[in-house]
Amino acid sequence: MVLTVSHTTTYLYREPVSICHTAVHLNPRGSLHQRVISHRLEVSPEPVFSVTRNDYFGNEITVFSIHEPHQTLTISSKSVVELQPEEPPPAGLTPAWEAVRDEVGQQAGEESYQASEFVFRSPFVKLGPDFAAYAAPSFPPGRSVLAASLDLCHRIFSEFRYDPRATTISTPVDEVLKDRGGVCQDFAHLMIACLRSLGLPARYVSGYLRSGENTVGAEASHAWCSVFCPGFGWLDFDPTNDVMPQSDHVTIAIGRDYSDVSPVKGVAIGGGEQIVNVAVEVLPPRPAR
């Protein structure tokens, strides 16, 4: 599957901005199952400084500065990626979730040691007994980590309503658990909080979802999560759509939570009130005429 991703963010300021410094995670992440064919980033006004590097988690991040007065900032990214999905393993072949917890807790092996940094709280993900209690029905003793995670993913999909008006980026994850509503980043944070509260390593994945009639969260940046499973690596789960991502999800970046991988963030001097418009489209390439 080859997909073309277009993402444009436009800032409209009431007053001129004299200087801005911005960091973006918009370059798709290469992996065994995702090949980046091309990527182009355009910024207007043209930055006086721009550099692309890898961050701590191995994601490509571009940092740029604009030193001329402006009232409009446009950041446009266009990428073409090839997805090579792999069927998830049979649930029965994955170890019991307690075994995963114990192996990671003991840091038994390099992979488990690296995964262990994803069991702690982070800026957007709290841990606690309420999250563990919500997860508990999905994680009875001895159940495989894949079967348990699939069940938790399904319960979040079934028991929480998708409502863009229910939350903001600053809404705490415990309020999401209480009010049972939110958007994709809320559901990803919630599932991560539940998994980490049981001692399981879970990380946040930002990216895009192929536009379609039966998907929720397309036409904008999307988010899901992944769980570490010894012997099988990281397994992805999208609780917004109740699926294990394969051919419809384009991965941009991974981190502890949204704070590590936000698509666009920065600081500006001046500007006053602002309006932000975001347009995202993920489609197969159009055939040449």
Is the domain of 39 the same as that of 130?
A: no
Is the domain of 256 the same as that of 138?
A: yes
Task: Provide the number of structural domains found in the chain.
Answer: 2
Encode pLDDT of 196-234 as tens digits. Answer: 999 999 999 999 998 765 666 566 789 999 999 999 999
Encode pLDDT of 250-259 as tens digits. Answer: 999 999 999 9
Is the domain of 134 the same as that of 64?
A: no
pLDDT on residue 140: 97
Is the domain of 128 the same as that of 13?
A: no
Number of neighbouring beta carbons within 10 Å of residue 189? 26
pTM for the model = 0.94
22: containing domain: 2-84+262-283
Is the domain of 40 the same as that of 181?
A: no
3-state secondary structure at position 102: helix
Is the domain of 76 the same as that of 45?
A: yes
Residue 288 domain-assigned? no
Residue 153 domain-assigned? yes
Is the domain of 50 the same as that of 132?
A: no
Q: Which token pair is 2?
A: 């080859």
Angle, vertex CA 244, rays to CA 95 and CA 164, nearest 5: 130
**Per-residue confidence band for 246, with pLDDT thresholds at 50, 70 and 90:** confident
Is the domain of 23 the same as that of 129?
A: no
Query: Judging by DSSP bridges, how do beta strands 161-162 and 181-182 pair with one another?
Result: parallel
Is the domain of 23 the same as that of 157?
A: no
CB 14 within 8 A of CB 272: yes
Is the domain of 204 the same as that of 77?
A: no
Give me the long-range contacts of 170-177 (CB less than 8 A, separation at least 24).
172/126, 173/124, 173/125, 173/126, 173/131, 174/126, 174/128, 174/130, 174/131, 177/130, 177/131, 177/134
Question: Looking at the predicted structure, is the pLDDT value of residue 168 above 80?
Answer: yes
* DSSP secondary structure letter of residue 36: E
